Amino acid sequence: MTGNTDFDLFKISEDHEALREAVRAVADDKIAPHAAEVDEKSEFPQAALDALVASDFHAPHIAEEYDGVGADALATCIVIEEVARACASSSLIPAVNKLGSMPVILGASDEVKAKYLPPVAKGEAMFSYGLSEREAGSDTASMKCKAKKDGDFYVLNGQKSWITNAGVSQFYTVLAVTDPDGERGRNISAFVVEKDDEGFGFGEPERKLGIKGSPTRELHFDSCRIPADRIIGQEGEGLKIALRTLDHTRVTIGAQAVGIAQGALDYALGYVKERKQFGKAIAEFQGLQFMLGDMAMKLEAARQMVYVAAAKSERGDADLPFFGAAAKCFASDVAMEVTTDAVQLLGGAGYVKDHPVERMMRDAKITQIYEGTNQIQRMVMARQLLKR
């Protein structure tokens, strides 16, 4: 951390607030009405994708030179936050497009960027991220997926687990060992794999607690042969690029968590003002007011942490690893607490699917787990502190 006293870490401009209003309008009109059905049927939110593409909110982070809108990191977080307020599954469209394409943005050649970023920016393709394996989750360096050089090609063999939007995305950033005898962590490279590549397939969709509208599947590579020029960066740089990617994209998971929590708080506020017990609205009871105050206070603290981290992501500050981890960790813990309290505020009504807060509580849980568990985030933060 820098330890400075400069409070101008981020600024919410009029453009950012106008963006928020625009995204919220799309989310309320085109996404929220389908959220319960998407969850109930575990269906990909196609209506949300169509609406986000039509409004250029599906991959706002891609630069104008690649046919994108060139939104800054804070604007991208606002998009994800507002979509998550309506439907967490749908918010994974812009979030995972950034996650999947960020390695390309950070480390790929100009040719690879020019080939793969414009289709995503135009809404013609989505981009997923293949890092984790069954036995290599938090311990990413122990991955077994291999890519062997064969002339002008690499041949991939192995698998990846827990891949968000797998089967829907056309492009995949995949990490694989290219030097089995090399130094651990420095023997991994990153590649772009296309959905139609021969030898590339998918496992069955996972049956999940939440974010059911976003398919999560394994990636399978059976002598999958890809052109060597699809490598991202140089051989051996893959894990470094992957971890740099997570420094930036953990901030977007914090934004997703804030959005989910905001949706739950908004719904609970409406409910407690209408629900009557003992002859008056339950919002008038002091015990519930204390709950509401705590929920809003923690949510706002989480939002500020996410926005500060987003500003640091945009600038590429040296202390981004700490702030990205802190924002993701704190915001996701807050989302779990706020959504659980929202269910409690609705009482028995909160426990049934007639109301959205039980879905929001289930959706919130994954934000404490993916892109690094919150236990890993605390290790990241501690290591950053110990480096000072």
Q: How many CB atoms lie within 10 A of CB 180?
A: 9
19: Cα separation from own chain's centroid: 19
Q: In the annotation, is 371 catalytic?
A: yes
Helix (H/G/I), strand (E/B), else coil: 159: strand
User: Which residues, in sequence order, are CB contacts of 183 under 8 Å at separation 6+?
Assistant: none
DSSP code per residue over 84-141:
HHH-HHHHHHHHHHHHHHHHHHHH--HHHHHHHHHHHHTTS--EEEE--BTTBSS-GG
Catalytically annotated residue among 81, 133, 218, 371: 371
Cα-trace Rg, the chain: 21
User: CA-CA distances (angstroms) from residue 211 to 269, 277, 370?
Assistant: 23, 34, 12
Helix (H/G/I), strand (E/B), else coil: 160: strand
Structure tokens at 326: 């802190």
Active-site positions read: 371
